[in-house]
Structure 1
Amino acid sequence: MRHGKYFTIDSVPNSDKKATPLKEIIQSEDDVDEKYYVDDKDKIAKFAYLRGPKRIERTSADGHTYTYSEGGMSPYEDLSLPGRTMLTSEGSVNRSTHWLKINGRYRVLTPIEAERMQDFPDDWTKYKIVDGEVKEVSDRMRMFFMGNALVTSVIEGIGKGIKNIIEEYE
């Protein structure tokens, strides 16, 4: 919006590249550590609540009463669809975490799966150098990094498109 007016245009992708479904990103069950699976019934119920629809009456600090509402989302990810946008809170118990149900078991993404969603190589975030020493990065930080990342192939494509436009006018 600019000066109270907005401008919009219908856009059409200029690519025949198909989105990558989650089933092509997730690791084999044999390669997924048990720590990523969730068997705790309370935690499973919490994810169900967080992902479900809500209408909650609330009162603001000044005493105004209002209704907070939130639409429901699927109870878990559809593996035939691409992953959603990843946030820095990925992997924690919240509505935006990718919640998987595979062969009847629930789990969250692994750091490698998060890297794959952002088009980084496997284990890209596993190590860092601190004071000249190689240190292993915690899973929590690895997920944070990927939630803060840009999908590298998208940025690369935008860069190439800009380069093509510039070359056309040289």
Structure 2
Amino acid sequence: MKQMKSGFQMTKTSRRGDYTYRYGMGNMRFPDSLELPARTMVTSEHTISRMSHVILDPGNHEYRLLSPEETEQINTFPVGWTELEDVSNSQRYFTMGNALVVNLVRDIGKEIDKLVRQESNLTKFNPNSAVENVEH
């Protein structure tokens, strides 16, 4: 698994063979830190791949994938939010891989609301206006 997280660079050739290009990916932390913010979740978290979150379990000191409940916590959903009758763990991981981080969306919404409330001319729409300076 650790090898999958290493960065690499390679030269690839187009399918038609008419040009080459550089392709690569950077290093990923292994194991994923329990102390730092998590990387973006993906729909395939339940499989072993380069993108899977792998942690060192603090209890038994063994590497493991995240649990469905941990993926809910990363996305700031309540624990058990995806645990429904006839919903498999694979479907729970897929759901969290497609989800947005709830608290992040909330915080963005609050900032948008502040900006809207700061606007002085909300009654007339001017399609030619542009935001010149926004102070937070």
Q: Is TM > 0.5 for Structure 1 vs Structure 2?
A: yes
TM-score (norm 2): 0.73
Which sections of structure 1, spanning at least 5 residues, go unmatched? 1-46, 128-134
CA change 1:62–1:168 in 2 (3 A) is closer
1:70 aligned to 20, 25, 29, which one?
25
Separation of aligned partners in 1, 2:79 and 2:46: 17
Alignment size in residue pairs: 117
Separation of aligned partners in 2, 1:154 and 1:69: 29
TM-score (norm 1): 0.60
Specify the code of the residue in structure 1 equivalent to 2:69.
Answer: I
CA RMSD in angstroms comes to 2.1
Question: Which of the two has higher C-alpha Rg?
Answer: 2
1:136 match: secondary structure? coil
CA deviation after TM superposition for structure 1 residue 65, in Å: 5.3
1:145 corresponds to which residue?
95
Structure with a larger share of its residues in strand: 1
Which sections of structure 2, spanning at least 5 residues, go unmatched? 123-136
Point out which structure has higher relative CO (alpha carbons under 8 A, 6+ apart).
1
Q: Percent identity of the aligned residues?
A: 38
Alignment map for 1:48-67 (pairs within 5 Å): 48-56=2-10, 58-63=12-17, 64=19
Deviations 1:9-33 (A, max 9, x none): xxxxxxxxxxxxxxxxxxxxxxxxx
